[in-house]
Structure formats: C-alpha cells, structure tokens
Amino acid sequence: MFGISRVFDGGLLQEFRRLEQEMDEMLGRSPWPAATRPASRGTYPPMNIGTTPDNVEVYLFAAGLDPATVDISVQQNLLTVSGQRKVPEQKKATWYRQERFDGAFRRVISLPDDVDPDRVSARYRDGVLQITAGRRQAAKPRQIEIH
C-alpha cells in the first residue's frame, strides 16, 4: 500500500515523468497542450494575428530563429511561413523536459479576400517575425461627396 510520504517523495512523480517521456518517444508528440497555452504541443512558432482598417498584422514569436532560413509566400490568400530552427545540442545534459522547438516548421494562415498580395512585407526583430499584409485600396469604403 502507498504511504503518503512515498507519494510526495518524488518516486511516483518521477515514474510518471519517465512514462510520459517514453510515450512521447513511442507515439510522437502529443496533440494535447504541454502547458496552459492554447496552442497544441509542437505548434511552432506561436503567433498572434490582428487586423486594422489598412492591414492584417501577423506576429510569429520565434526567438533564436535565423531569418535567412525562413520562406514567406502568398498564394490565393494563403500566407505560408516555413523554415528551419536549430537548437544547439548538449549531449552531456540530462533533460527532464524539453519544450524548445527544433527542426522544420510550416504555418499556413488564411488571409481575408481584400488583402493585396503585392503589399506584403516582413521584418524580424527581437525574436518576433512581423508580417504586414496591406488591404486593397478598392476594398476600402470611399466617401462620395455631393455636389
């Protein structure tokens, strides 16, 4: 029978962590969130998307990413961001949990119909990739003056 001290001495919790790691290795990454974040585990880079009357703003949070490894394209209102992120490997370390993403990634975002594919720009600063997609001028309401 389990005593209360055995449950809290780390033995049982260590066993659950070991089991979780073995299941991750056997089945791949879990579809459930790794923490209290809404993105599923393995979704990289996390992003925020917002709109203004003039633009659609996409922010991808990718600290340590080399901008030269990122490909950004727009085709038929689909914005595709793909690339590769490499994390330096530390072979002598014993890891209890690894949540930092390493490897190839691809995110596809559906843009509104009024986005002009010729007015898309991107910049990377302080670990944030910001993509700005301008809206077509013809899609904006035009004020008609009465003469």
Mean pLDDT of 117-127: 94
Residue spans per domain, the chain: 1-30, 39-139
Q: Sorting pLDDT into bands at 50, 70 and 90, what band is 93?
A: confident
H/E/C letters for each residue in the chain?
CCCHHHHHCCHHHHHHHHHHHHHHHHHCCCCCCCCCCCCCCCCCCCEEEEECCCEEEEEEECCCCCHHHCEEEEECCEEEEEEEECCCCCCCCCCCCCCCCCEEEEEEEECCCCEEEEEEEEEEECCEEEEEEEECHHHCCCCCCCC
User: What's the CATH number for 39-139?
Assistant: 2.60.40.790
Q: Sorting pLDDT into bands at 50, 70 and 90, what band is 2?
A: low
pTM: 0.65
Range scoring the smallest mean pLDDT among 3-7, 24-28, 77-81, 117-121: 3-7
- The one-letter code for the residue type at 42 is G
Contact criterion met (CB below 8 Å) for 39 and 48? no
